[in-house]
Amino acid sequence: MSERQHGSALLDVADLHLAFGGVRAVDGLSFQVHEAEIVSVIGPNGAGKTSAFNCITGFYRATSGAITIDGTDVTRMRPSAVAARGVARTFQNLRLFGDLPVLDNVRAGTHLWLRQHVFDALLHTPRYRRTEQIATDEAHHWLDFVGLRADRVGPVRALPYGEQRRVEIARALARRPRLLLLDEPAAGLNHGEKLELLDLIRRIRELGIAIVLIEHDMGLVMEVSQRVVVLNFGKEIADGSPDQVRRDPAVIEAYLGSDEAPSEQTGDGQPAGKTGDGGPAKQASDGKAAERTGDDQASGETEERTADA
Ligand SMILES: Nc1ncnc2c1ncn2[C@@H]1O[C@H](COP(=O)(O)OP(=O)(O)OP(=O)(O)O)[C@@H](O)[C@H]1O
């Protein structure tokens, strides 16, 4: 099914399976992502997209299959170890430090590569102050890149929802990733914000960063992706260019009866995300959680939306 490209892949997902008790959330997914490539993973609600993301980033442990990043097997690694190999992500539901200002949220992204020694931090040594300045400069850079002001005071949760989404992307970029996974970044955005997001995703790619995008806004997906992988009930039913996928009978059938037909125009002004009946019914779950790997890189972060979302 997969359209394999020549050259070594940055991300290689091979025959990935994830089961929650009797529910096969991911059932034999294989795809590759190369440097500076944008690959979208689409499918009706409950198709297994976020589950696949959680396996790739180490939040869930795959039942079987292999995930390699630049040739290194990360299948059984913890989220922090996967992140250290150049993988950053955003979440379907925002996970920001809600009480902290914008700048501190983005500075937090630098901690992956900017080490502070406890001794320096306790004594506020010149080395500590230098490191803090590097973190602040880096955060300014990425906030500017996503089009936000760094001097906003007050808790980040007070910002409009669309701006909070951009803070989360800025924080992921502050990790200096080679691969960025975006989980429904257009959800809750208005028409203008979706167009800005489209531009932002393209500019991230121009930096040489590869992107894997889960998105229900088909206009955005078709506009921005080099390749599209389609999941249905955990199974991969297509992998090809946006044009190939749009015309694929199996994809059309999977989306029949869904409001998410894979051919809409970009930024149609409709709220992205789960519209209508969301296509084929979500697979029933027995509620049994998959094996979690522990050190959630966003642990302690709040998961919330502002009222105007
Ligand atoms: N922690 C969990 N415990 C049990 N079942 C789960 C868990 N997470 C996901 N599932 C089940 O796995 C299947 C795939 O869910 P997943 O969230 O990955 O789909 P998705 O394609 O991301 O859906 P959506 O577009 O709605 O976000 C669904 O049947 C879901 O109910």
Which candidate, 16, 17, 20, 19, places its Cα nearest to that of 289? 20
**Residue with CA closest to ligand 1 atom 25:** 45
Residue nearest to atom 13 of ligand 1 (CA): 25
| Res 307: pLDDT | 27
Q: Residue 163's pLDDT is what?
A: 93
Q: 48: Cβ below 6 Å to ligand 1?
A: yes
Q: Where are the alpha helices (DSSP H) in the chain?
A: 49-56, 79-84, 102-107, 118-123, 126-146, 161-173, 191-206, 218-224, 242-247, 249-255
| Sites in the chain below the pLDDT cut of 50 | 1-4, 6, 266-291, 293-309
Ligand 1 centroid vs 53 CA: distance in angstroms? 11
| Residue whose token pair is 């059309």 | 252
Task: State whether the beta carbon of 44 lies less than 6 angstroms from ligand 1.
Answer: no
Query: For 257-304, how does the pLDDT look when each residue is reduced to its tens digit (9 = 90+)?
Result: 555 556 555 444 333 333 333 333 343 333 334 445 444 433 333 333
Q: What is the pLDDT of residue 184?
A: 95
Q: Which atom of ligand 1 is nearest to the CA of 52?
A: 18
The strands making up 11-20's β-sheet, listed across from edge to edge, are: 23-33, 11-20, 64-69, 72-73
Domain ranges of the chain: 8-86+178-257, 98-176
Q: Is the CB of 25 under 6 A from ligand 1?
A: yes
Taking CA atoms only, the protein residue closest to ligand 1 atom 31 is 285
Instruction: Give me the pLDDT at residue 237, please.
Output: 94
Q: Is the CB of 24 under 6 A from ligand 1?
A: no
Pocket test for ligand 1, best of 56, 60, 258, 285 (most atoms within 8 A of CB): 285
Length, in residues, of the chain: 309
Q: Determine whether the shortest distance from the Cβ of 43 to ligand 1 is under 6 A.
A: yes
CATH tag, 8-86+178-257: 3.40.50.300
CA distances from 138 to 48, 64, 114, 308 (A): 34, 38, 10, 29
Testing ligand 1's pocket by substitution, the residue of 50, 91, 291 carrying the most ligand atoms inside 8 A of its CB is: 50
- The reported pLDDT for the residue numbered 70 is 94
| Mutate which of 16, 24, 49, 181 for ligand 1 pocket (most atoms within 8 A of beta carbon) | 49
Task: Please give, one letter per residue, the 3-state secondary structure of 114-165.
Answer: CCCCHHHHHHCCHHHHHHHHHHHHHHHHHHHHHCCCCCCCCCHHHCCHHHHH
What does the pLDDT read at residue 142? 96
- Closest atom of ligand 1 to 21 CA is 4
